[in-house]
Amino acid sequence: MAASNPTTAARPQRPVLQHTLSSNSFILDHQQYKPAVPINQTISNVLDQPNDAALASLSLNNYNPVSPDPDRVTETGVTHSIFGHHDNPLPHDTPQLVATIFYKSSNPIHPHLHPDSSRNVRSGDKLPSPMVPVGSAPTVDMEKIPREPPAPEPEPLDHLYGPFVSQLCLTNFLQIIESLPTPYQRMNTSHRCLDKHDQPRVVEVTFSPPPNPDYLTFTDLRKHESIWRFEREWNVEVVLQKESVFRRHKRLVVFDMDSTLIQNEVIDEIARFIGVEKQVSEITERAMNGEIDFSESLRERVSLLNGVPADVFEKLKSVLTISPGARELCKSLKSLGCKLAVLSGGFQPLAEWLAGELGIDYARANHLEVDPVTQTLTGKLVPTYPIIDAEQKRSILKSLAAEHNIPISQTVAVGDGANDLLMLHAAGLGVAWRAKSMVQLKAPTRLNGESLLDVLYLMGMTKGDINELTSDSTDGLA
């Protein structure tokens, strides 16, 4: 039976991204997803031919309706077009947008979420609770959503096409980008695989011209429901930036400390020492979600620390955990000549310690008052120092940039809490890192990866660039 059906052997393999790098058109590699051009011969004609001739006659390449355009010249990368032979010249200075697509490898979507359809279902298994994707609503707790539950999520596709940025995933993104501008305009797009060519986790897509801001502003494009749905469908995150030399060359990077550069909340760790962790944690969560004023919440939490020995900060150093990729990221940025700062709503002794550990130039945090007689905390802040709240973080970012004559477009801010939002919006690139749901909704960009090194991909660096920056040979450059 198999011998009489040569079409089985003739079916081509699904293309991979590595192959497209040598093609002049990304869409060329996706003809298998389009209706095939009719073959004007019968099965009898095919069976009468020798095997080699039959295979050649059935090859998709013989009737591919899109052929390379010999008149098109590209400066870099691959130009993708669905317009075949038609020229689509754009002025040399046409603005471009860059979309960096990250596959969420730390959270692959299981294909069988319902026990009735799962192969691993066991007696007594219950239906899964309704879930809200992080960053798509102010909270992930269904009980706290003050409205009807969100619409059903799209079917997850990464389990069908692979736990990476697949060919079809990228094609779908290009189709979405093409469909957004109003009125319709033709776009040129290209892509780069930043970590690896085979099954990449990070892919950079450049397209131009951007949508007309009279119809779709850049801010609205970043929050467009079509892109958010694409993210949930393919289990990816998309970061959109305006292309410029300042996107690739940053000179000042500021970080939040708690739950960003370190995985702990310092004040919660102190509270654990004295048995008031529950009270402090509740206030912290409300403050980070923007439910109460940060300065008010800080004073309220600090008051609970009255009587704590002043050497508590020395004891805490051994329990603090530096976030994955933080050391390597700071080392890479220092190798590139960047100025670094940690701006924390935490406390100065630990901010200074962390700055020393990571090679950070500036540490700004809150100062706790110490009783000089008992050497214990008084439960108050030192009044001569400003509280490092949202406004103060933004102010420090701008003052450091001005001090070093750095344009604000060459700055980066990374944080996770509501008190970081002002500096995230003020910086040239503001990244909400594994942030609270409400913060992800309001931040200009968001990432939920496993390593802070992902920030370097947003600056257009490849895995090879990052390896070179983090290698020991760069120690002398820092």
> What is the SS3 assignment for 12?
coil
Q: What is the pLDDT of residue 58?
A: 47
Tokens 């008052």 sit on residue? 369
Report how far Cα 76 is from the mean position of its chain's Cα atoms: 24
Q: Which fold has domain 252-470?
A: Rossmann fold (3.40.50)
Q: Grade residue 51 by pLDDT with cuts at 50, 70 and 90.
A: low
Please tell me the distance from the alpha carbon of residue 362 to that of residue 128, in angstroms, as a whole number: 47
Output the six-digit token pair for 66. Answer: 């899109």
Sheet containing 202-208: which strands, arranged edge to edge? 188-193, 202-208, 97-103, 236-242
Tokens 């400066």 sit on residue? 75
Of the listed 29, 158, 195, 258, which one is catalytic?
258
Mean pLDDT within 109-130: 54
Determine the residue type at 106: S
Identify any residues that bridge with 203 across adjacent strands, giving them in sequence order: 101, 193
Q: Lowest-confidence range among 74-88, 242-256, 361-375, 385-399?
A: 74-88
Q: What is the pLDDT of residue 12?
A: 54
Q: What is the pLDDT of residue 149?
A: 59
Instruction: Report CA torsion sign: 470, 474, 476, 478.
Output: negative
Mean pLDDT within 256-267: 94
For residues 170-201, one letter each, b for 16 or more C-beta atoms within 10 angstroms of the residue's C-beta and e for the rest, the string is bbbbbeebbebbeeeeebbbbbbbbbeeebbb
Q: Where are the alpha helices (DSSP H) in 185-239?
A: 218-222, 225-234
Stated length of the chain = 478
Is the confidence at residue 24, as pLDDT, over 50? no
Is the confidence at residue 26, as pLDDT, over 80? no
Structural contact between residues 170 and 191, judged by C-beta atoms closer than 8 angstroms: yes
Please tell me the distance from the alpha carbon of residue 294 to that of residue 290, in angstroms, as a whole number: 8
Mean pLDDT within 268-289: 79
Output the six-digit token pair for 385. Answer: 């120092």
Q: What is the pLDDT of residue 185?
A: 78
Q: What is the pLDDT of residue 27?
A: 47
3-state secondary structure 154-171: CCCCHHHHCCCCCHHHHH
Of the listed 195, 256, 416, 454, which one is catalytic?
256
List Cα–Cα distances, 130 to 133, 141, 142, 145, 286, in angstroms: 10, 9, 7, 12, 23
Identify any residues that bridge with 208 across adjacent strands, giving them in sequence order: 188
Q: For the chain, what is the mean pLDDT?
A: 80
Q: Grade residue 128 by pLDDT with cuts at 50, 70 and 90.
A: low
Question: Which residues lie closer than 8 Å to 70 by C-beta, 6 or more apart?
Answer: none
Question: What beta strand segments (E) does 75-195 contain?
Answer: 97-103, 188-193
* Measured distance between the N- and C-terminal CA atoms of the chain, rounded to whole angstroms: 67
Q: What is the pLDDT of residue 465?
A: 96
Determine the residue type at 183: P
Burial class, 249, CB count within 10 angstroms (exposed 0-12 / middle 13-18 / buried 19+): middle
- In terms of Cα–Cα distance, which of 210, 206, 226 is closest to 218? 210
Q: What is the pLDDT of residue 161?
A: 85
Q: What is the pLDDT of residue 343?
A: 98
Structural contact between residues 250 and 339, judged by C-beta atoms closer than 8 angstroms: no
Determine the residue type at 360: I
**Residue 389 is a catalytic residue:** no
Q: What is the pLDDT of residues 156-214, one digit of tens each?
A: 788 788 889 999 999 999 999 988 877 777 788 899 999 998 899 999 999 999 988 88
Is the confidence at residue 113, as pLDDT, over 70? no
Please tell me the distance from the alpha carbon of residue 388 to that of residue 386, in angstroms, as a whole number: 6
Among the ranges 132-146, 231-245, 277-291, which has the highest mean pLDDT value? 231-245
Determine the residue type at 324: P
Q: What is the pLDDT of residues 321-336, one digit of tens each?
A: 999 999 999 999 999 9
Q: What is the pLDDT of residue 361?
A: 98
Q: What is the pLDDT of residue 359?
A: 97
| Domain 73-83+90-106+156-243: homologous superfamily in CATH | ACT domain (3.30.70.260)
> What is the SS3 assignment for 249?
coil
Tokens 């660039």 sit on residue? 465
Q: Where are the domains of the chain?
A: 73-83+90-106+156-243, 252-470
Mean pLDDT within 225-242: 94
List Cα–Cα distances, 81 to 17, 34, 61, 172, 221, in angstroms: 16, 15, 18, 14, 22
Q: What is the pLDDT of residues 333-374, one digit of tens each?
A: 999 999 999 999 999 999 999 999 999 999 999 999 999 999
Report how far Cα 294 is from the mean position of its chain's Cα atoms: 26
**Residue 361 is a catalytic residue:** no
Please tell me the distance from the alpha carbon of residue 381 to that of residue 59, in angstroms, as a whole number: 75
List Cα–Cα distances, 143 to 289, 295, 306, in angstroms: 16, 28, 35
List Cα–Cα distances, 110 to 114, 156, 378, in angstroms: 10, 8, 51
Is the confidence at residue 388, as pLDDT, over 60? yes
Q: Between 387 and 133, whose confidence is greater? A: 387
Mean pLDDT within 393-402: 98
> What is the SS3 assignment for 80?
strand
Please tell me the distance from the alpha carbon of residue 78 to that of residue 189, in angstroms, as a whole number: 8
Which DSSP symbol is given to 381? Answer: E
Is the confidence at residue 418, as pLDDT, over 80? yes
Q: Between 227 and 276, whose confidence is greater? A: 227
Which percentage of the chain shows pLDDT scores above 90? 49
